[in-house]
Amino acid sequence: MNSSISIFFSNGIIELKGDLARLKKKKKFLHWLNESFKCEFTDDSIMIVSYFPFDSTRLFDFHQSLTEFLDRRFELYFDSSFNAVINNELQERRDFKQFSETARLIWEDLYDVEEFELFCAKTKVNLPNRRLYKLQALSAYHMAFSQNACNFSVPGAGKTSIVYAAYAYLKNHASQKVNKLLIIGPPSSFSPWESEYFECFGTKAKSFRINGEVTPSLKKDVLKGISTENYELILLTYNSVTSLFAELLIFLRAQNNNVMMVCDEAHKFKNITGIWAHHILNLAPYAVSRIVLTGTPAPNGYEDLYNIFKFIYPNKNVLNFRPDYLRRLSQNPLQSEVYQLIENIKPYFVRITKNDLNLPPFKEHPLVLNELNNLELLVYNRLRDYLVSRESNSGNAQSIHFRMIQTCNNLNLLNSALSTFNNDIDFGLRNETDSLEDILGHDLSQKIKALDDDYIPSKHSKVLELVKKLNSRNNKILLWGVFVDSIKKLHSILKNAGYQGGYIIGETKKSNKLNNYQDDFTRESLIEQFKTGQLDYLISNPVVLGESISLHKICHHAIYFEQWYSVAPYVQSRDRIHRVWLDRDLNQIPYETNYYHILTSQRTDTDIHHRVQAKFQRMMDVIEHDIPFFTEDLETERTLLIQNIINDYRHSQ
């Protein structure tokens, strides 16, 4: 005979009554209860309280688990309030399953043709100055239908325009489901979001930027709605989310705000235990619409997907994989499970690949090789000899190898201690255990310290030659470096040679939007001057300027005069001048794209370049996948390159 158990739900507490004597003999069941909940046992009842409030999802999961544990040996009777929640949750899950299937079919070209054509017709009205090509329109249609979606398209695919098309549709044709945009992204994305708004709608955005140039009180007043201005577009950095969490919560929950919350370059909050992710995921439930934009959704592993899909659907587990399992899947990918993972999330993301863009071909020019001058070569050889003699000290080997890289680029860099080296890139340096003077000797060290403004690195002379050649045909040039001091030095050399240009590094001011005076040396003013043809060149590094800006309409030549190991910033920097450019009939405009790499002939420089190029080719293959997953082990690569130098030297002796 089956025993009966009655289950009651009231005021957030579950109560079990019935044949408890028999129930308490089920050890696995009791272990589950005590591990998962706070329980109070009496002779005639078990009171169960969740550590987190029982919402419909948790109550449904409890129902499922209870049924599995007690199987057929108990008759379970749920009270009306419990049954009402379960039935509503079941219906919602059926509806979501149907919705998900429809969303998936949109991207598989199995959509309702009439609905899509109606969406496209309305998009032409909503975006009078912007026409979308087929895949962009389909992406926007998917986003407007879903309201919560990810766009994993490669750089240059027009993700910003796609968001504006979906936003305008939801604002104008869906009973104002949204009326404000909250964009979280890198500082370099602010200007493109504003300029693209104008390009799409023909009017300037009523926008407010939350950055270091705005007073804390004004930031808070705007978000709390007590400012005199009513902004439609709010732009802030990931770093600002933490300090303004309370005010952002007020903004999202305000009665008159129906907010589309966009995480641009969303891989920046991939860390599951990170503070940015914690605050963003806690804000997510209060947004009416949630959008993720990133071309690299899984830069370090499949676990990077967890926050992204938790953001767009805070109360659902659409991945159907735990973070720890995703991490194991990254380390030991089983093709069947990777396929299942992609199938699980297919309804909720779209991806336009490089092949889809049909971009004009680019030209990779032959390497420009530079020979070090006498002083540079003497320093390089001294460092190399010391590296070979002290190879057992791996920590010091890395610092010496780093000094060899600096020597190949600019001897002045040796005058900064590694412990105080200030740059926009994390080089992962350790302190030097041997001083440069001990390694190079007193006389050679003094020659380096005596370098003044008259010293021109030999590599910079090669850069100047190439700039002269390209600029003679009025070409605008984008130059990419690694070291801040080298970027400043090259700018000075080019300026003294009579060229007009500028540089953008981490310390460059971001904007003068709120100031009443004109500042020609902010990031935005320099980019604008470059775009309008006032500058001959612009110098930066891929970490600072490798994301969010488009320069392909003015610049078709990129020179890499310094490189670092990491391939992702390098790939993104290349995409600044190789992007979609359509005419009014949506045909790709033909244009040329040229890449140049200037290297010293020493192995330290060439090895890094060839390593990056090999990873670049692999990444181009991977990037066509639905979820491009590409890992880098920079520490191992650095050790390998150091060993190559040592082996090469020994074989030459």
Q: Please write the tens of the pLDDT for every residue from 254-290.
A: 999 999 999 999 988 988 889 999 999 999 999 999 9
Give the model confidence (pLDDT) of 53-63 as tens digits: 888 888 998 99
Mean pLDDT, rounded, for 375-383: 96
Enter the tokens of residue 482. 């690694």
Average pLDDT, the chain: 90
Query: Can you give the length of the chain in residues?
Result: 653
Q: How far apart are CA 469 and CA 464, in angstroms?
A: 9
How is residue 598 written in tokens?
A: 């200037």
d(CA 573, CA 188): 13
Residue 296 is predicted with a pLDDT of 81
Does 515 score more than 50 pLDDT?
A: no
pLDDT score recorded for residue 607: 93
CA distance 418 to 429: 7
pLDDT band at residue 380 using 50, 70 and 90 as cut-offs: very high
CA angle 502, 506, 510 (to 5 degrees): 75
Is residue 279 within 8 A of residue 247, CB to CB? The reply is no
Model confidence at 513, pLDDT cuts 50, 70, 90, reads: low
Average pLDDT, stretch 328-339?
88
pLDDT band with cut points at 50, 70 and 90 for residue 419: low
Please, where are the H alpha helices in 472-522? 484-496
Report the candidate in 203, 213, 253, 212 with the shortest Cα–Cα distance to residue 233: 203
Tokens 């140039």 — which residue? 213
pLDDT classification of 635: cutoffs 50, 70, 90: confident
- Domain 3-89 maps to which CATH number in 3.40.50, 3.30.70, 1.10.10, 3.30.565? 3.30.70
Query: Which secondary-structure segment (H or E) carries 31?
Result: helix 27-36
Q: Is the pLDDT of residue 638 over 50?
A: yes
The helix or strand, by DSSP H or E, that contains position 207, with its residue range, turns out to be: strand 207-210
Residue 641 is predicted with a pLDDT of 84
pLDDT(505) > 90? yes
Is residue 610 classed exposed, middle or buried when 0-12, 13-18 and 19+ CB atoms within 10 A define those classes?
middle
- Which has more confidence, 520 or 246? 246
d(CA 58, CA 620): 42
pLDDT of residue 582: 87
Per DSSP, the residues of 97-142 read: HHHHHHHHHHHTT-S-HHHHHHHHHHHHHH-TT----HHHHHHHHH
Q: Is 68 helix (H, G, I), strand (E, B) or coil?
A: helix
Query: Which pLDDT value is given to residue 516?
Result: 42
- Distance CA(354)–CA(574), nearest Å, equals 13
pLDDT in tens, 553-600: 999 999 999 999 888 889 989 999 999 898 888 888 999 999 999 999
Tell whether the model's pLDDT for residue 384 goes beyond 80: yes
Structure tokens given for 591: 């244009």
Largest CA distance in the chain: 98
Range with the lowest mean pLDDT among 96-110, 382-396, 531-545? 382-396
Res 222 pLDDT > 60: yes
Cα separations in angstroms, 556 against 36, 155, 320, 361: 60, 16, 44, 12
pLDDT over threshold 80, residue 300? no
Homologous superfamily of 363-368+456-633 in CATH? P-loop containing nucleotide triphosphate hydrolases (3.40.50.300)
Q: What is the rounded average pLDDT of the residues 312-334?
A: 90
Stretch 407-411: mean pLDDT: 96
pLDDT tens digit sequence for 125-171: 999 989 999 999 999 999 999 999 999 998 889 999 999 999 999 99
- For the residues 326-354, what does the mean pLDDT come to? 91
* Lowest mean pLDDT across 66-80, 528-542, 562-576: 66-80
Is pLDDT above 90 for 619?
no
Q: Which residue has the higher pLDDT, 520 or 93?
A: 93
Rounded CA separation 585/246 (Å) = 47
Q: Is 335 helix (H, G, I), strand (E, B) or coil?
A: helix
Query: Is-contact 158 132, C-beta < 8 A?
Result: yes
Q: What's the confidence (pLDDT) of residue 391?
A: 59
Predicted pLDDT at 519:
57
Tokens representing 252?
A: 């999202």
- The pLDDT confidence band at residue 369, using thresholds 50, 70 and 90, is very high
The three-state DSSP-derived secondary structure of 570-620 is HHHHHCCCCCCCECCCCCECCCCCEEEEEEECCHHHHHHHHHHHHHHHHHH
Q: Are 597 and 609 in contact (CB under 8 A)?
A: yes
Q: Is the pLDDT of residue 518 over 60?
A: no
Q: What is the mean pLDDT of residues 454-468?
A: 97
641 contacts 608 by C-beta, under 8 angstroms:
yes
Retrieve residue 37's tokens. Answer: 């909940």
The residue-averaged pLDDT of 231-238 equals: 96
pLDDT value at position 62? Answer: 92
* Amino acid present at 445: S
pLDDT in the model for residue 174: 75
Rounded to the nearest angstrom, the gap between the alpha carbon of residue 220 and the centroid of all alpha carbons in its chain is 26
- Beta-carbon count within 10 A of 64 CB: 11
Greater confidence (425 vs 243) lies with: 243
Spell out the domain ranges in the chain: 3-89, 111-353, 363-368+456-633, 372-449
Helix (H) or strand (E) run with residue 310 in it: helix 305-312
> Which pLDDT score is estimated for 520?
65
Please, are residues 5 and 76 in contact by the beta-carbon 8 Å criterion? yes
Which residues make Cβ contacts (< 8 Å) with residue 420, sequence separation at least 6?
A: none
- 8 Å CB contact between 184 and 294: no
What is the pLDDT at residue 393? 58
Q: What is the DSSP letter of 260?
A: E
Domains 3-89 and 363-368+456-633 share a fold: no
β 477-480/46-50 pair status: unpaired
Summarize the confidence of residues 510-522 as an average pLDDT.
Answer: 58
Lowest-confidence range among 97-101, 371-375, 594-598, 645-649?
645-649
Confidence check: pLDDT of 8 > 50: yes
Mean pLDDT of the 211-235 span? 91
Domain 111-353 in CATH: superfamily?
Tandem AAA-ATPase domain (3.40.50.10810)
Q: What is the dihedral of CA 603, 418, 463, 510, to 10 degrees?
A: 140
Rounded Cα–Cα distance for residues 307 and 150 (Å): 12
Tally of CB atoms within 10 A around 102: 16
Tell me which residue of 541, 562, 568 sits closest to 609, measured CA to CA: 562
Query: What integer pLDDT is reported at residue 476 of this predicted model?
Result: 97
Question: pLDDT tier at 633 (50, 70, 90 boundaries)?
Answer: confident
pLDDT surpassing 90 at residue 627: no
- Percentage of the chain beyond pLDDT 70 is 96
Q: What is the mean pLDDT of residues 105-124?
A: 93
